[in-house]
Structures are given as C-alpha cells and as structure tokens.
Structure 1
Amino acid sequence: MSLGIDLSPATKQCNFDCLYCELAPTATVDKQDNAVSAETIITELKKHLNNKIDVITLTANGEPTLYPYLNELIDQIDIIKGDTQTLILTNSAMLSDEKVYNSLLKLDQVKLSLDAITPEIFKKIDRPHQNINIDDIVKKVQQFSQKFNGKLFIEILFVHGLNDTKEEVLKLNNALLSIKANRIDLGTIDRPPAYPVSGISYKELYELSQLFDASLPVHIASRVHAEANNTSYTNEEIINTLDKRPLTMQDIELLFDEESKNRLLKLIEEQVIIVKKLDNLEFFTPTTHLIRKKDK
C-alpha cells in the first residue's frame, strides 16, 4: 500500500518532456518555480499516515528531484514514518546534483528511469532539458547503485520504433551489468501518451527481456489486480485526478465509491470527461487534457 506525495501539485514541472508521458506536453525546466513548503506536506502527511501504509512514495506532476526542499522533507519524513518505507520515482537526471544525490541516499527505496543509452535515442524519447547528457546520467546511476544501501529499482520504458531494437537493448544490458539493482522493470506505454507514439506488445516485451544477461534481475511490468479503495471524489477531484493520471474503468472500480462513479458518468454525459482508447484499453481523461496535447 503506497501513499503518494505529489511534489508539484499545481503544475507540471519537469526537466524531461518524454514522448510517452501521461501528462500534457510542457516546456522543460531545470528548477521548480512553484513549490509547496515541506511543512505543509508534513502536516498533510501526518493526517493520512497510518500502519496500513507500506511505503511513502515521493513523486510529482513532473520530476520530484527538482523540488527545492527535498533534503529537508526527507529528514522530516524520517522523523515520523516509523517502520514505513520511503521511495522516490525519478528520471535519474538530477543525480548529477550532489545535494540531490546525497538526499536520495537517505531513502529506503529509489526507482530510477533509464530508457536509452544512445544519445540520439535518449533525446528523442526523453526530450531532456538543455545540457542533460545520457553518458553523465549512466555514470551517476552506476556510482549511486554502488553506494546506496536501500533497494534500487531501474525502470526501462520501451517505445515502438525507438529504443526497442536489439542494438539498443544490448547497450542497455551492458550499462546495467555495472549497476547494482534489486530489480529491473521492463515496461511499455499503457496510458495515453503526450505525443503520437505507441508501445510494444507483451510478446515483444518478453522477447526483448530475453536479450538481457541472465544475471540481471529483469522483470516484465504488467497491470495487476489491487485491493479496492472505494474513495469519495468530488467533481473537481475527479477532473484533477484524471488530468494528472488517466484511468481505466478497472482503475475506477478499484478507486471510486458508487457516488463518485455516478459523478463520473454525469461528467461523461456532459463531455467534461471523454474516453480515449489506447490499444485494447479505454482511459477516461478530461476534454481539456486532450485539447492541450493537440495545441502542442
């Protein structure tokens, strides 16, 4: 059971503009101009933290390591978290910042993205902010993995026609052999992406997994059934939730109570929420979300 903390709730702030991002396209940044105080986050965390929570997940409407008070926040969470684990989901680019690097060392779990090794492919997929270099990222990930005492996960997301070639997988494999990871998650696009790109099939994902060295802890990431949460959402909360993370009906069945499902149906009737089909899945997303994508 994960309790997520969005370190950029007001707007998307990211140093990547990934082709596959579920958020609308946005110009990259190298710092957060709109940041919530660590005190505000801790106050909210205290209200919701309980012994059912296995992990506190630091994430963002963008890149969480751009949060300016990250080190302070982690220290304050450590004071109140008890046995609960701390985790961050990051694109790895800010490991070059010594303060961020040392802050992440304090966490119990870290999940780092590494989508490509070839500079041209990296730039096409992840669309990084200026002066972000994949060679530097790989070196810092390798270095971090040797020093980090917690659980380290690596995530690779495959985009059809870009990083799904045998040549690129072998380059990823060679880099991963020097990274001390507990698990390497291979995935693909399963939510409506920011740009007109597509994922690969499970069969193709499995075939690519066979190219990695047998010593690597490779895992094929896929959707799994979770426990029902049945939470109440207002109209505004439904729209904000779907704007940040489009959901399938399966997701909604798990997350929404009956009244919230009825509110969703009403929003669909009013065309405030629309259905977007991706491969064999249908996602619910605000109309404004798709308009922003088209405008980009």
Structure 2
Amino acid sequence: MSESGQDCLSHGYTKGEKKVMSGFSYKDIYMEDGRRVLEINVLPEKYCNFDCIFCPIGRSKNKVDTKMSFDEIDSSLIELGNRIESTKAELVFINSKGEALVNDKIGDIIDFIKDKGLPVRLLSNGYLLGRDEYMKIANKCDEVVGEIKIITEEGFQKVQRPIEGYTLAEYISNMVSFNKQYKGKFIFEITIIKGYNDDEESIEKIKNIIKAISPDKIIVARMEDEKFKKKLGINDERFEEISSTLLNI
C-alpha cells in the first residue's frame, strides 16, 4: 500500500548549495517529518545517464552510466563526518548533480554514513537500479528515491535524451525488479509536465506504472524551476486533481 505524500524532493542541487574544499557540497540542514536532514552532492559536476531538456543543472557534458573515479575521498569523508556532528543530522540525503551511483566511491560513502549510525536516502533517476552492481549499492540505503517524468517512448527519447539503447520499458522494469527485492523504503516521485503527461490517458499509464512498482511512498511534483515553469508547469487546480488521483490509488 502506498503512503501518500506531496512533499516534493529537491532536485538539481542548485539552490542553497554550500561549496566546500573537500569536493562534496551541501545544502543547509532542514527539517522533514521531524528529522534534521543533511543533503549532500557527491559529484564534482553533472554526470548523468540522461540529458533532460528541463534539467535545472543544464546539459550533460558527461553522459555516462558506468562507474567514474574522482579524487580521493579521505578529506571529503572527514568533512562529511564534521558536518554530521555539527548539524546534528538525523538523515543524510544523497542528492547529486546527476546520477550519484556513477561515483565509484558511492558504496564507501554510504558505509561511512551508516557507520555514524545515520539512515541514508539515495536519489537515483532509477534506470540503473535494475543492474546487479548498482542494486547492491542501493540496497545499503534505508530509503531510495526513483522517479519518472515522460511516459511515452517517443517522448522519453526526445525529451529526456537518455544514453543510446535505453528504453522506457526497461526504465520502468528496472525499478520494478529493484523494489521487488528491496528491504528499505522505496519512494517514487512523479513529475507532472504540461503537454507531456498531464492528460487523462497519461494519468492512467502512470497509475499502471505505480501498481507495477508498488512503492512505499508516492510524491507528485511539478516543474518549479522558473526557467521551465511557464512552458511546462501546470496550474494549481489541475495539479491538485492529478495529485489526488495518484495519491489515492
């Protein structure tokens, strides 16, 4: 049974970001459901397997779905430990510039946070969750966020511009297979986009996707970035109508 939720996760890692010398970057601590959340980006710049036209970070210069090696993370982990202590964080949310799973040290980062006794939430677009090597990493986390935006194959290729060979069917299937074996809390975020998935036929398709994935929590979001809001944002009335429909499946 899905838990209803309309609290929108922060995507794109653009607002409130705090740069640090270590290579990680952070947002100011904030409260969510009574917990102090520390949000962290573990990528030096955008590395993603998609290149969405509406991404608030901009174009994907580094379009990858294999593990990438960055600088040594010893100093970054020291800084992270200090942040956890100084902010009295109660949850660490890994929300990166792109797909955090491509950082080859992501498993070590998660282990470090878990060793501090804190739960970890990981944001992934969800495409890589069906692959064994990434599934094992995501399984370390207490919460995993997957997402969907475009729900037609043509639109997926044109608008989200994934790595060649990706398909929408596999995208959905990967999240389905991941959640079937996942022991933590799977959060499924659906972004409603004007002209792409806000019609009744699309809402029915999204309902079927939700039923197939069977998430623990659903979040319905919409375009909030000012660059895309005018063209791709939907009005309050329609958003509330869609949200009510999807959150009460």
TM-score (norm 2): 0.77
- Aligned pair 1:105/2:139, yes or no? yes
1:7 to 39, 42, 54: 42
Q: What is the CA–CA distance in structure 2 between the aligned matches of 1:75 and 1:61, rounded to whole Å?
A: 20
Q: What is the CA–CA distance in structure 1 between the aligned matches of 2:71 and 2:237, rounded to whole Å?
A: 43
- Aligned pair 1:57/2:98, yes or no? no
Instruction: Tell me the amino acid that sits aligned with residue 161 of structure 1.
Output: G
Q: What is the CA–CA distance in structure 1 between the aligned matches of 2:200 and 2:73, rounded to whole Å?
A: 44
- Aligned pair 1:89/2:123, yes or no? yes
- Give unmatched runs, 5+ long, in structure 1: 216-296
1:168 to 202, 212, 217: 202
What is aligned with 2:159? Answer: 125
Moved more, 176-185 or 50-59: 50-59
What is aligned with 2:106? Answer: 70
Q: What is the CA–CA distance in structure 1 between the aligned matches of 2:67 and 2:184, rounded to whole Å?
A: 27
SS in 1 for 2:212: coil
Q: 1:196 to 1:27 in 2, by over 3 A?
A: farther
Q: 1:165 to 1:125 in 2, by over 3 A?
A: farther
Q: Which contiguous aligned blocks of 4+ residues in structure 1 show a shift greater than 6 angstroms?
A: none
Structure number with larger C-alpha Rg:
1
Contact 2:147–2:189 under 8 Å retained in 1:
yes
What is aligned with 2:214? Answer: 180
2:79 to 29, 38, 44: 44
The alpha carbon displacement at 1:112 in A equals 0.6
Q: Kindly report which structure 2 residues correspond to 1:1-296, keeping only aligned pairs within 5 A, or say none.
A: 1-9=36-44, 11-27=45-61, 29-30=63-64, 31=66, 35-50=70-85, 52-80=88-116, 82=117, 84-193=118-227, 197-212=231-246, 214-215=248-249
SS in 1 for 2:232: coil
Q: What is the CA–CA distance in structure 1 between the aligned matches of 2:131 and 2:174, rounded to whole Å?
A: 10
SS in 1 for 2:209: helix
Contact 1:92–1:113 under 8 Å retained in 2:
yes
Q: What is the CA–CA distance in structure 2 between the aligned matches of 1:211 and 1:163, rounded to whole Å?
A: 14
Q: 1:48 to 1:213 in 2, by over 3 A?
A: closer
Contact 1:2–1:56 under 8 Å retained in 2:
yes
Q: 1:63 to 1:92 in 2, by over 3 A?
A: same
Q: 1:159 to 1:28 in 2, by over 3 A?
A: farther
The alpha carbon displacement at 1:96 in A equals 3.1
- Give unmatched runs, 5+ long, in structure 2: 1-35
**% same residue:** 23
Superposed CA RMSD: 2.3
TM-score (norm 1): 0.65
Moved more, 50-59 or 184-193: 50-59
Bigger RCO of structures 1 and 2 (CA < 8 A, at least 6 apart): 2
Contact 1:5–1:56 under 8 Å retained in 2:
yes
Instruction: Tell me the amino acid that sits aligned with residue 8 of structure 1.
Output: L
SS in 2 for 1:60: coil
Instruction: Tell me the amino acid that sits aligned with residue 91 of structure 1.
Output: N
